[in-house]
Amino acid sequence: MQGDAYLKCIDPQCGLEYPIESTNVQCEEGHLLDVKYKNKPSTGLKEIFYKRRNSEGSIFNESGVWRFRELLNFCQIDTENLEECSKYLVSLDGAEGRQSKPYQMSKAAEFIEISTKNLWLQPEGYNPSGSFKDNGMATAVTHAKMVGAKKIVCASTGNTSASAGMFAANEGIDCDVYIPAGQIAPGKLSQAYQFGAQILEIDGNFDDALKQSLEDAQNHEGYTVNSINPFRIEGQKTIPFRALEYLNWESPDWIVYPGGALGNTSSCGKAMMELYEWGWIKKIPRIAVINSEGASTLSDLYNGKFEGEELRWNKGNPNTELISRYYDHLDKEGIRPKTKATAIQIGRPANILKGLRALEFTNGIATTVTDSEMLDGMSVVGLNGFDCEMASGASVVGIKKLISEEIIKKDDVVVGILTGRQKDAMLPVEYHQNPKNIFAKPPKN
């Protein structure tokens, strides 16, 4: 298997390639990279994946990420050799992705106005650190270990820092978390503190913190674990893998994600491109990305709300100048991303080009929902006995909106991803204290 996996620039006109041990997150021309595989995994693996659900004591079978290890074998190991797995693959004792699968939620279906049997919602909040990030962190930290990194580095104000800190603590390596000074409520970093991460406060905004973290990684032998890292994307492919496996590899009509940095959109797109090319699926599900109205970069550009041009991947020729002009416009007008759903409060999605590629391949769409709608979505998930964060509510109300607009048809099968569990305890309390909210149950006295 040696030589099967490598890195390749996503820009088809550039196409620079790098060995799999490279820690570059971009090519020399500044384009994003993909992890690529030369071999085509046999569809016979579907049965092996299913059998591994009886883990027989192996954490790599228990893990919802490493159960699919042949489809992300960038370590190029003998995947049946568990000793080799232990040596290379990083895992939180098999817990990442272990509890993740799609569920039917009747009250959410009733609210959305879709039949219960056609709606699947997949909570990623039951990952050990509380969000989908553990999927991609397992693979990124595996690559960090493969290249001998002693420290992982990220810029984050929430879920990423929690996941990075947890994996670093488990592996006995250092973790630096860059944040903009004075702009982050300390409570949002409580998990990072708990797992022993080093917080570094940077003068400036979140983009400055990310820039500083990338520079630090490059100059001080740190390893970047933000979703710009192509190995993060590999682990996040297992989110749709688990959904598809549960549906017997019959593609749904739609897969719906909240839209932030677009790492999930990118990974779902890459997963579908690979599965289709490998003959694992016959139908390509359409991806719907749901932005917050207050942080709607993708939706604005994709739907032609800026300068009237609908931004597309355009077979690898996207109008990147349009994106630059949009960002200049945000700066000039002093427009900052603003939503209470902080997990998707992102104005400059790092993976926008991979996201556009995913939408082009899947004939996808992008739209927006309001904060108050997201809170309703979050709350109706709770009424089914499932916990989720406010950003995850975007998937629920996004589906509702797209059904009302007849973009999603009533007999379509839809999978919505619930990205994380509640980490802001006051959001549900405040929601339920206001009797005007649809699902509010105010306290009695």
| Interface ranges with Zn ion (CB under 5 A) | 9, 11, 14, 16, 27, 29, 31
| Residue placing its CB nearer to Zn ion in the complex, 15 or 442 | 15
Pick between residue 6 and residue 195 the one whose CB is nearest to Zn ion. Answer: 6
Burial class (CB in 10 A: 0-12, 13-18, 19+), 402: buried
Task: Please state the closest distance from residue 31 (CB atom) to Zn ion, in A.
Answer: 3
Residue whose CB is less far from Zn ion, 18 or 88: 18
Torsion (CA) 59, 62, 67, 69 in degrees, nearest 10: -20
Q: Least separation, in Å, of the C-beta of 131 and Zn ion? A: 30
Query: Which secondary-structure segment (H or E) carries 180?
Result: strand 174-180
Nearest distance from C-beta of residue 28 to Zn ion, angstroms = 7
The set of residues, in sequence order, having a beta carbon less than 8 Å from that of 374 and lying 6+ positions away, is 292, 339, 340, 341, 390, 391, 393, 394, 397
Query: Nearest distance from residue 228's CB to Zn ion, in Å?
Result: 14
Bridge-partner residues for 7, per DSSP? 18, 35
CA atoms within 13 A on the CB side of 421: 16
352-362 helix and 263-277 helix, angle to the nearest 10 degrees: 40
User: What is the smallest separation between the CB atom of 244 and Zn ion, expressed in angstroms?
Assistant: 30
Following CA atoms 73, 78, 83, 85 in sequence, which dihedral angle do they give, to the nearest 10 degrees?
Answer: 10
Q: Which is nearer to Zn ion, 155 or 353 (CB)?
A: 353
What are the structure tokens assigned to 444, written together?
């009695």
Nearer to Zn ion, 14 or 284 (CB): 14
CB 290 within 8 A of CB 368: yes
Closer residue to Zn ion in complex, CB, 214/391? 214
Shortest Å distance, C-beta 383 to Zn ion: 47
CA dihedral 101, 102, 103, 104 (to 10 degrees): -170
List all residues 6 or more positions away from 355 whose beta carbon is below 8 Å from its beta carbon.
259, 262, 265, 266, 269, 289, 298, 349
| End-to-end alpha carbon distance in the chain | 67
Residue 357 beta carbon to Zn ion: minimum distance, rounded to whole angstroms: 14
Q: Which is nearer to Zn ion, 8 or 133 (CB)?
A: 8
Q: How far is the CB of 230 from Zn ion (least distance, A)?
A: 13
C-alpha 141/C-alpha 157 separation (Å) is: 19
Please check whether residue 373 is in contact with residue 399, taking contact to mean a CB–CB distance below 8 angstroms.
no
Measured from the CB atom, is 7 or 359 closer to Zn ion?
7
Select 17 or 309, whichever has its Cβ closest to Zn ion: 17
The answer to whether 306 and 294 have CB atoms below 8 angstroms apart is no
Min dist CB 401 to Zn ion, Å, is 36
Q: Which residues on neighbouring strands pair with residue 59, listed in sequence order?
A: none
User: Between residues 288 and 356, which has the closer beta carbon with respect to Zn ion?
Assistant: 356
Q: How far is the CB of 7 from Zn ion (least distance, A)?
A: 11
Dist. CA 125–CA 98, nearest whole Å = 11
